[in-house]
């Protein structure tokens, strides 16, 4: 791994009951140096009805977010279809297939993990994580879902704190977005 390689991000999505919460840490590292501690890697799209979190190269992720928004305008209210169409483009377009990023997207009904190899995955158990600390956060969230009655937001907060205590490329500066079914 080169010292000039950008690292770091943990994005976690937890769905419990009528609530989906997506959280992301704020750390961006260059080699062994933290270059930014408060990056916003989770944001709302299409008037707040979709939450997206990204890991990977920032410019690449922003390009993909713009493409996803375009697909959501083309297929309003159809997150799965828009995501599949984006994944097709991402995999087959000469420019897009060079992009190095992953995304978690969610609306009131579905949570999906998207990758550049064409993956559009709906997570088992309503939990998915990406990035350097994604597996740690996802594992913690699975345990908290099974062993507690905490809501989705509390699970994301606790799980991200656990990931930050294990992964050196993850910090405790969180951006959280949530949607509860029935919210406008």
Report the catalytic residues.
9
Residues 155 and 99: their CA atoms lie apart, in Å, by 31
- All residues at 6 or more sequence positions from 44 whose CB lies less than 8 Å from its CB, including other chains: 50, 51, 52, 177
Residues 64 and 131: their CA atoms lie apart, in Å, by 16
CA distances from 141 to 88, 110, 145, 153, 170 (A): 30, 18, 6, 11, 16
3-class secondary structure, 8: coil
Q: Which secondary-structure segment (H or E) carries 42?
A: strand 42-45
Q: Is 123 left (phi over 0), alpha (psi -120 to 50) or beta?
A: beta
Asked whether the beta carbons of 107 and 82 are under 8 A apart, the reply is: no
Asked whether the beta carbons of 127 and 14 are under 8 A apart, the reply is: yes
């Amino acid at each position: 791994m080169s010292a000039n390689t950008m690292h770091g991000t943990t994005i976690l999505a937890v769905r419990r009951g009528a609530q989906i919460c997506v959280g992301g840490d704020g750390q961006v590292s260059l080699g062994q140096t933290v270059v930014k501690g408060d990056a916003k890697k989770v944001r709302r799209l299409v008037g707040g009805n979709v939450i997206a979190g990204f890991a990977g190269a920032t410019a690449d992720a922003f390009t993909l977010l713009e493409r996803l928004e375009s697909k959501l305008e083309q297929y309003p209210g159809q997150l799965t279809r828009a995501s599949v169409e984006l994944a097709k483009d991402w995999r087959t377009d000469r420019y897009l297939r060079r992009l190095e990023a992953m995304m978690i997207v969610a609306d009131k009904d579905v949570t999906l993990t998207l990758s550049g190899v064409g993956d559009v995955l709906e997570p088992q158990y309503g939990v998915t994580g990406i990035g350097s600390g994604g597996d740690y956060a996802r594992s913690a969230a699975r345990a908290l879902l099974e062993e507690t009655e905490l809501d989705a937001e509390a699970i994301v907060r606790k799980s991200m704190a656990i990931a930050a205590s294990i992964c050196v490329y993850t910090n405790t500066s969180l951006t959280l977005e949530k949607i509860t079914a029935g919210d406008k």
